[in-house]
A and B are shown apart, each in its own frame.
Chain A
Amino acid sequence: MVKSSQEWVSAAVDGEVNEQELAQLCADADSHEQWQRYHMIGDTMRGELPESIDLDITANIAAALELEPTIIAPQAIAPQENDEQKQSNLDSKPSNVVSLFKQVGQYAIAASVALVAIVGVQSYNQEPDVESPLPVFNTRPLVGSVSPVSLQTGPVVKQQHDFTEEQVLEQRRRINAYIQDHMLQQRLNSGVQTEHTYTEDVNR
């Protein structure tokens, strides 16, 4: 029975019913919600949703908040007051309390949305970090920053122990000396290398 009624509403949404049936639907308040939902689904599928959808949550939240016991506000305002005064206080400003809660609730929702947005952005940013294009950097922590030598190398050092600053400097000096010498040797050996390949050619 439920299913057949759903089908009927669905047909009405699609405009496949006559005027009489439509009038019947208008009279049937229970089907209105379903009618709205079907239209929403149809709009979503066609991509015709407006910028913001008024799902009428506010009414629900307000209703829920009204059901909440109002304890905090009276205590905060007058913790020393006696029961009578408290009663009168509640009578005089009930709307105030509710509206305060409403505001707090709205802020909380807004704040939680912002938090989700930030967390979302962060995790999105972290993703590419995981597969960083330079794994070397992740696995080998940098010992300070290296002053560029003339050949512009910046060694990344794997730190094994806690070195003193002096030791780190000395270590860096030695590493730089080796790297510079390595690069200088390639310059000096460039002649030798070509000679070498040449003699190899001759030998062949």
Chain B
Amino acid sequence: MRLFLLALILLSPFSFAQEMSANDWLKNMSQSLTDKQFKASVVQIQADHIRPLVFLQGKVDGKSVSYLEYLNGPPKNAVKVDNKVTFLELDQQPYSIKANRIQGVWPASLSGNIAKLEQGYQFVLGGRSRIAGRAGQMIRFIAKDEFRYDSQVWLDMETFLPLRYDTLNRDKQLLEQTMVVELLELNEPPKILIEASKHDWPAVINPTDRKEAQNWQFTWLPQGFDMVVADNHRLIGIHEPVEYIALTDGLANISIYVARASDNPMPEELVTRNGISMVVEKVGNAEIVALGKVPTETLERIVRSLTLK
């Protein structure tokens, strides 16, 4: 008996060594999301509605091509050929932007640099479960502080492609879920991608109305959050000029706006059903608005730490 236990103790480190770490899983996922050819039927679930979509990715003549289509409501598609993403929507002219992925299915960092996420999140290997008829390995992104939400991703154990991605609020309640219902790995690029690669898409728009922003600075930001964009543009819809700053920690995106205060009082804070928090603070005759899928307390603190250099 004692010998058996001893053998067990000696063997266990080896059996663990064979298991991949959460980090390895995520690196494999990032690689797969960039390299693999696949078709994924996906549903996105937010508090009170479900959005079905289909996503295809493949390689045509050495070019990476992908296609996203929302299946319900007015047609909404996006096509990516190399580093140009074109959005095709019913109510407006197609336009292209420069990006190396179509935004809207998985968070950008899942296909990008995983190491960036380590500043704000701890990766923990979770259990296994069956999703879309496939075996999935769960990996948790546990927030290192209370300034952001936790999330968890399930990876297909065969292809390492993400099968499900959940965002949970601080009370561990589900805010948003992206779940694959069918995943097909492809050997050949599908026809639609070959056609898309040949099509002449509009040129990348030059955001002419984007001017240099003021020299904004934050005296405090949660660990891992960086300023990615700072500009001056007009708000969509109401065309009000705003100073704009974008922050991200890889999973959560925060937008900060500085605008002239409106005559109408704005609510100090609100949370939308899909988990976007919004905080409004009036400073003199300006109003600072912060939005993002983070707790409102985080936004409040960020807004208060905003200064001009």
- Cross-chain contact B255 with A191 (CB below 8 angstroms): no
Given A133-B173, A187-B104, CB of A179 within 8 Å of CB of B264: no
Q: CB-nearest residue of chain B relative to A176?
A: B237
Residues on the B chain within 8 Å of A155, using CB: 270, 272, 278
Minimum distance in angstroms from A173 CB to a CB of chain B: 6
The 0/1 profile, CB within 8 Å of B marked 1, for residues 78-98 of chain A is 000000000000000000000
Which residues of chain A are near B60, meaning CB under 8 Å?
none
> Is B273 touching A187 in the complex (CB atoms < 8 A)?
no
| A152 proximal to B (CB < 8 A) | yes
Contact yes or no, B268 A196, CB < 8 A: no
* B244–A185 touching, CB < 8 Å: yes
Given A153-B276, A171-B267, A200-B113: A192 touches B237 (CB 8 Å cut-off): no
Our pick among A175, A178, A187 for the contact of B97 (Cβ within 8 Å) is A187
The residues of B that contact A191 with a CB separation of less than 8 Å are 83, 85, 97-100
Q: How far is the CA of A155 from the CA of B48 in the complex (A)?
A: 12
In the complex, the answer to whether A190 meets B228 with C-beta atoms within 8 Å is no
Given known pairs A185-B229, A190-B103, the reply for A179 and B276 (CB within 8 Å) is yes
Docked pose: A174 CA to B270 CA in angstroms: 13
When the two chains form their complex, are residues A196 and B228 in contact, meaning their CB atoms are under 8 A apart? yes
Q: Within 8 Å CB of A133, what residues of B? A: 173
In the assembled complex, A13 has its CB within 8 A of some CB on chain B: no
CB <8 Å contact, A157 and B267: yes
Q: How many A-B residue pairs have CB under 8 A?
A: 139
B262–chain A nearest beta-carbon distance, Å: 6
Report whether over half of chain A's contact residues are helix, strand or loop; otherwise say mixed. Answer: helix
Return the chain A residue nearest B83 by Cβ.
A191
A177 touches B99 (CB 8 A): no
A148 and chain B: residue at smallest CB distance: B49
Q: Once bound together, how far apart are the Cα atoms of A191 and B264, in whole Å?
A: 35
One of B49, B99, B255, B269 near A190 (C-beta < 8 A): B99
A158-204 CB contacts (< 8 Å) to partner B: 158-161, 163, 167, 170-171, 173-182, 184-194, 196-198, 200-201
Interface size class of B (residues with CB under 8 A): 35 or more
Interface size on A, residues (CB 8 A): 46
Asked if A134 is an interface residue, CB under 8 A from chain B, the answer is yes
The CA-CA distance from A187 to B236 in the complex, in Å, is: 13
Q: Which of A156, A196, A201 contacts B270 (CB 8 A)?
A: A156
Q: Are the C-beta atoms of B113 and A135 separated by less than 8 Å?
A: no
Whether B112 and A194, one on each chain, are in contact in the complex, defined by CB atoms closer than 8 angstroms, is yes
Cross-chain contact B246 with A185 (CB below 8 angstroms):
yes
Chain B residue at smallest Cβ distance from A186? B253
Given A177-B237, A181-B236, A200-B113, verify A150-B91 contact (CB < 8 Å): yes
Is there a chain A Cβ closer than 8 Å to B157's Cβ? no
What is the minimal beta-carbon distance from A184 to any residue of chain B, in angstroms?
6
Query: Knowing A158-B269, A191-B83, A191-B98 touch, does A173 contact B244 (C-beta < 8 A)?
Result: no
Write the nearest CB–CB distance from B287 to chain A, whole angstroms: 9
Whether B49 contacts A178 by the Cβ 8 Å rule is no
Is A154 close to B, CB under 8 A? yes
Contact pick for B228, options A171, A180, A189, CB 8 Å: A189
Q: Return A140 CB to nearest CB of chain B, in Å.
A: 6
* B138: Cβ under 8 A from any A Cβ: no
Pick the contact of B49 from A152, A159, A201 — CB < 8 Å? A152
7 further A-B pairs in the complex, CB-CB below 8 A; given A134-B273, A179-B291, A181-B242? A136-B271, A156-B272, A180-B236, A181-B237, A185-B246, A191-B99, A196-B226
Some 13 contacts from A to B, beta carbons below 8 A apart, are: A156-B271, A160-B268, A170-B264, A175-B270, A175-B278, A177-B235, A178-B257, A181-B236, A182-B255, A187-B87, A190-B102, A193-B248, A197-B250
Binding site for B on A (CB under 8 A): 133-136, 140, 150, 152-161, 163, 167, 170-171, 173-182, 184-194, 196-198, 200-201
6 interchain residue pairs of minimum CB distance: A191-B99, A190-B103, A182-B255, A190-B99, A182-B291, A191-B98
